[in-house]
């Protein structure tokens, strides 16, 4: 098996993964993996004895073709000899021991499978590569290099400012959303392809290790945050738990809106939309999609094939809400029945678009709600070019960032910034509790003066009422 001189890997480089992690890096950051971590396609990888969380991350690997030192971003790609498929395995159980270096957690023997074929750089367009990962035959990761935060040429240039890149060195360029955990018996496959060229599938079978760690180094340990990170089910620092979701849905968006307004947030409603399921609550985390106005050359390049619209839908996970910036353009559809069905199958909580919807009857028959500006029979290309995924957008007059909490009901849709969610929901629950008391008193014939809002007299009675509940 070919063994590179050095392996340099990126932490975050796909918009979809950055949205999943809840942070977008301003610049690329890296870590090293030892050459002894390289393995060939078909190899068996041991999950170390005593560990629980063996994470897999399908990636595109750059193989450096000629010596690069202090090259510019515009020339960086010319120093790449080829690309191949890679799997950046790691055990989350040892992340705490690495102080960010990832040496023990990602440097184990066999933790960097590469192959099976290298695509010559001269034969491919680096901006048009597709990456896919399968776990036991199920597609779990799919993205293209259009979703990169930092292009390949920029990575080569950045690294070569301080480090001489030599022929045969490998740069792992990051993983998209969908990376998760493999257990003994699982088979993980990764493939990179473009325009008739493919690396073939890089196949790794996971087996259980039998040799325990000795007591002379850091031992495996995990907690719930490690599990959430490994499985990709939550972002560090915030989890939209079932309990929090239930609390959000226990109050109306009118109450949530009032509490946001008290905190100075007056422009967080996504306006002038209609729900396909007016009686169904919508609660989830925002995943975003942006359309540009239609232009012939841009649509020819970005509108067909596996475009940003399809990538956005395919990358949705349980509880996600796809929020679409369509500039309020109602003269064409922004989503139709097939993609809305795909969103539902992926477990998405709903769709919000300030543009039109095709196949409205079929979309309305689905379980998930779609908020839209109106029906229209025309296809996407009449007015739009699918452009960006998981970036900050404008929808219905509101700014929406990936990861924001989206709450919708019959009154409309709200965007709740993450740092306000707990505070706003607590206050909204209390507001509705007070309004229940006030409504009971009004129904009993009391005057609203002094009661709505409550003065000291009625606050004392409210406190007594609370004690009896």
Cβ burial 153-172 (10 Å sphere, 16+ → b, else e): bbbbbbbbeeeebeeebbbb
φ, ψ (nearest 5 deg) of residue 348 = -60, 150
Region class of 368: left (phi > 0), else alpha (psi between -120 and 50), else beta? beta
SS3 332: coil
Structure tokens given for 419: 């740092």
pTM, rounded to two decimals: 0.59
Whole-number Å distance between alpha carbons of 344 and 322: 11
Whole-number Å distance between alpha carbons of 122 and 199: 15
Q: Tell me, what DSSP letter sits at residue 163? A: S
Between the CA of residue 129 and those of 20, 246, 269, what are the distances in Å? 21, 41, 37
SS3 410: coil
Q: What is the pLDDT of residues 225-234, one digit of tens each?
A: 777 778 875 4
pLDDT band at 238 (very low <50, low <70, confident <90, very high): low
φ, ψ (nearest 5 deg) of residue 174 = 100, 165
Whole-number Å distance between alpha carbons of 17 and 11: 10
pLDDT band at 24 (very low <50, low <70, confident <90, very high): confident
**Residues paired with residue 131 on neighbouring β-strands, in sequence order:** 143, 192
Secondary structure string (H, E, C) spanning 276-306: CCCCCCEEEEEEEEEEEECCHHHHHHHCCCC
Evaluate if residue 236 carries a pLDDT over 60. no
Cβ burial 403-425 (10 Å sphere, 16+ → b, else e): bbbbbbbeebbbbbbbebbeebb
Structural domains present in the chain: 7-231 (3.90.850.10), 239-266+424-469 (no CATH), 268-416 (3.50.30.40)
Q: What is the pLDDT of residues 146-203, one digit of tens each?
A: 889 999 999 999 999 999 999 999 999 999 999 999 999 999 999 999 988 999 999 9
The residue behind tokens 């129904």 is: 443
Q: What is the pLDDT of residues 309-318, one digit of tens each?
A: 998 898 888 8
């Amino acid at each position: 098996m070919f063994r590179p001189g050095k392996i340099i890997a990126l932490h975050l480089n796909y918009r979809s993964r950055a949205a999943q992690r809840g942070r977008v890096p301003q610049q690329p950051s890296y870590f090293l993996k030892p050459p002894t971590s390289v393995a060939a396609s078909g190899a068996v990888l041991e999950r170390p004895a005593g560990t629980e969380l063996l994470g897999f991350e399908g990636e595109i690997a750059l193989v450096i073709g000629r010596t690069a030192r202090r090259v510019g971003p515009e020339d960086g790609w010319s120093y790449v000899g080829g690309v191949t498929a890679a799997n950046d395995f790691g055990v989350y159980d040892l992340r705490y021991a690495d102080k960010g270096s990832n040496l023990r957690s990602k440097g184990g023997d066999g933790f960097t499978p590469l192959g099976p074929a290298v695509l010559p750089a001269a034969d491919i367009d680096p901006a048009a590569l597709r990456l896919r990962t399968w776990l036991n035959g199920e597609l779990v990761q799919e993205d293209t290099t259009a979703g990169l935060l930092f292009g390949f040429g920029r990575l080569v240039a950045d690294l070569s400012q301080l480090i001489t890149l030599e022929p045969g060195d490998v740069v792992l360029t990051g993983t998209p959303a969908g990376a998760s955990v493999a257990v003994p018996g699982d088979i993980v496959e990764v493939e990179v392809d473009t325009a008739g060229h493919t690396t073939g599938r890089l196949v790794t079978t996971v087996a259980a290790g039998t040799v325990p760690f000795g007591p002379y180094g850091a031992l495996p340990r995990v907690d719930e945050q490690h599990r959430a990170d490994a499985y990709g089910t939550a972002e560090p620092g915030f989890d939209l738990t079932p309990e929090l979701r239930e609390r959000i849905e226990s109050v109306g968006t009118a109450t949530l809106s009032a509490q946001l307004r008290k905190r100075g947030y007056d422009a967080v409603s996504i306006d002038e939309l209609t729900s396909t399921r007016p009686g169904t609550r919508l609660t989830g985390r925002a995943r975003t999609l942006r359309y540009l106005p239609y232009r012939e050359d841009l649509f020819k390049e970005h509108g067909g094939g596996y475009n940003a619209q399809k990538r956005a839908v395919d990358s949705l996970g349980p509880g996600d809400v796809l929020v679409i910036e369509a500039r309020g353009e109602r003269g064409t559809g922004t989503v139709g029945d097939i993609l809305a069905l795909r969103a539902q199958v992926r477990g998405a909580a709903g769709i919000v678009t300030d543009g039109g919807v095709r196949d409205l009857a079929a979309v309305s028959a689905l379980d998930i709600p779609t908020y839209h500006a109106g029906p229209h029979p025309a296809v996407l290309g009449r007015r739009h070019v699918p452009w960006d995924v998981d970036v900050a957008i404008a929808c219905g007059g509101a700014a929406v960032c990936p990861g924001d909490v989206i709450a919708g009901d019959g009154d409309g849709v709200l965007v709740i910034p993450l740092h306000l969610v707990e505070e706003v929901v607590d206050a909204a629950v209390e507001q509705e509790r007070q309004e229940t008391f006030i409504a009971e008193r009004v129904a009993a014939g009391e005057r609203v003066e002094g009661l709505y809002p409550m003065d000291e007299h009625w606050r004392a009675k409210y406190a007594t009422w609370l004690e009896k509940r």
